[in-house]
Structure 1
Amino acid sequence: MDMIKSLFISASGLKAQNGRMRVIAENIANANSTGRTPDEEPYRRKIPTFKAEFDREIGAAKVEIGRIAEDDSDFKSTHMPGHPAADENGYVLQPNVNTLLETTDMREAQRSYEANLNVIETTRKMLQRTIDILRA
């Protein structure tokens, strides 16, 4: 039964990392999304969080995507006098998204996803081998 638990736990990890990758992809996609007017803020980076949730059915803790927080760090400003969102001095607020950081986070999420996938594949092979032994 412990092998079944590991399947459920790894599946929850896959789901959580998938949610994390979606948030990161949204951040990257909006890295250049400025406001349309001087009063409108640009895109604000989102930060995925995780939470451990105890599953009584399987008797083990699983991971889930938690609250999606907003990064409250300062926006950058760029001098672009012709832009519709430029203030009276010609500066436009830029999103607080660092694409290098997002790319690094995406790679880490992919590796975590792959690790959970490997656990599922290894567990599946062990279960199949056990079934084969019992048949013999």
Structure 2
Amino acid sequence: MDSLKATMLQAVSGMQLQSKRIDVSSQNVSNADTPGYRRKILSVEQAPTAADAFIATRVDLDETEGERLYDPASPLSDEEGYVTASNVSLVTEMADMREANRSYEANLNSFRQARSMYQSLLDILRR
């Protein structure tokens, strides 16, 4: 496989991974106020092939306990009157989203550059 095509495939793989990261973070943000919700974490591993730099393997749940709030009137409270809040930090999620967005843009720029070089090569061969 030529290097320009490999570069384009890696960039596409990177954009797909960053899209999944943004999706998981958006689910966490959406459920930040849901009592008992556990933050989702995307597990990423290096791909066995050169075409895919990294792949998302699975979504795990963060084992960190959420804050316990005293609210005996809540139907979700335990015997002692406490409700376990979600363990989602909006600051962490927004930082993760920003990082994923910038990584997506970097992969997109890499794809565009490889496409431009590929087009230039085709133009030279047509002459």
TM-score computed with the length of structure 1 as normaliser: 0.85
Measured in 2, the distance between the counterparts of 1:61 and 1:27 equals 26
Instruction: Tell me, yes or no, if the aligned pair for 2:69 and 2:83 is still in contact at 8 Å.
Output: yes
* Identity over aligned pairs, percent: 37
Letter in 2 for 1:28: V
Report what 2:88 is aligned to: 97
- Structure 1 segments unaligned to the other structure (5+ residues): 35-41
- Structure 2 segments unaligned to the other structure (5+ residues): none
Q: CA deviation at 1:63?
A: 1.1
Report what 1:83 is aligned to: 74
Aligned residues: CA RMSD: 1.5
Name the stretch that deviates more: 87-96 or 11-20: 87-96
Measured in 2, the distance between the counterparts of 1:26 and 1:60 equals 29
Report what 1:44 is aligned to: 38
Flag the structure with higher strand content. Answer: 1
Q: CA deviation at 1:88?
A: 3.8
TM-score computed with the length of structure 2 as normaliser: 0.90
Count of paired positions: 126
Letter in 2 for 1:76: E
Report what 1:38 is aligned to: none
Report what 1:28 is aligned to: 29
